[in-house]
Structure 1
Amino acid sequence: MLGAGLPNRIPAYTCTVACISANAAIIAGANLIMAGDAEAVIAGGVETFSDPAIKISKAYRRFILDMTMFRRPKTLGGKLKLLRKMKLRDFIIPERPALGEYSTGLIMGQNADRLAKRLGLSRESQDHYAEMSHQRAAGAIKDGRFNEEIVPVVPPGSGRAIVHDNGPREETTFAKISKLRGAFDKKYGTVTAANSSFLTDGAAAVLLMSEKKAKSLGLRPKGYIRAQAFTGQDPWEELLLGP
């Protein structure tokens, strides 16, 4: 929030609930407004896959904490004693990011393949949907429908602004993507690199307020929250049915 240039008198907090974080943030903001605790709320989120957090090894973390906080040896001998417990690999090999989903141990693509089989979603239907999605998104960008919603960003060091989503591909056709093999289950899988969500960086935000407040400011609501509900699901059979 401070990085966005908003004044520090405005309260803010982070909502982290994995894939449903955006929905939870929006509903949290709506609840504040309905309770009379806020007049307007910005609910936003960000995701980055190009620079994920990768931890140093557990042994290295322990070494740093012992050297600086817990044991804090005063002498060179004490420091060398801690250092002797370390191996070279502890300093140079980081922890591997946890790719698997916690409850199933499977990565998202594997879970998607399982759910597609369970629901009877054919490879053809997935490819046709991907074709339609790409062409509609690319067409909307070309027609300028998102011009007032997209904020250009300049990645550090690039010196060049990104003004359009780089994911949609207008040239995507069923004939092209139907030739790809399954990305996660090579033999029987129907989820491919073309009909899956791509890994990307991005951010989005919505401005929430009561209808009365919006009209007093001369704003026209783009949508209304009529009702909301959250429910738990079986992570093994229904993981990707939410949010």
Structure 2
Amino acid sequence: MQEGSSSDFATVDHDRAARCGHGEVIYAAGKLPHEVVAIAQELLERGSSPCVLATRCDDAQVAAMREAFDGKQPIEVGERCGAVIVGTAESKSTTPIPIVTAGTSDLKVAEEVALTCKALGFEPYPINDVGVAGLHRIMGRLDEVRAGNCVVVVAGMEGALPSVVGGLVDVPVIAVPTSVGYGASFGGLSALLGMLNSCASGVTVVNIDNGFGAAYAACQIERAVLRGGRNPENGSG
């Protein structure tokens, strides 16, 4: 087989959208650039999904994706997180997903959340730099935070922000600990443990820096809401 054929190194899951609601996502870490391109091409050619998302791409993988798809498909690259969207997702809801960050150092992970939401057909709504060091910032934007069917909260350091948000909203809070902080943050472990020990009800925690996992869970919640009829577009609530 020719170099770059995905069957040489991968078994692409073309039925995932039918089973799970969303097509397969490419985790690019550890793959060669031509391998990421080949998987993306196969997914698009087989129509497994109207768009393809590759996460954690390095510079060489991003360059290969640009070379392969620029001028042929719409392409969007996350300059902070290395996520790449090829193609255009079918919009599934008009209700944005609030993505709340504690500080600007959390934007890399928040960008992965946002691009994953977009690739899965849901609109991200960033609310940035509203951490507990200046509590008035989150209090001043509560209407925006409360507008979603769920909220993704991204924070490092001691990871306190999801607990604050969890005590102020009536929807699920998906907390993302980031590896942001000084020595005793232990690469995000302090934030992870703080979030796991939250006294606020309704806070669920994903792994350190796992913006993709948080976004995927948020989109599954949105899909469930659409099935249940809570989407404002249909007039019920």
Normalized against structure 2, the TM-score is what? 0.23
Q: More strand per residue: 1 or 2?
A: 2
Q: Specify which structure has the bigger relative contact order, considering alpha-carbon pairs within 8 angstroms and separated by 6 or more residues.
A: 1
Q: More helix per residue: 1 or 2?
A: 2
Structure of higher CA gyration radius: 1
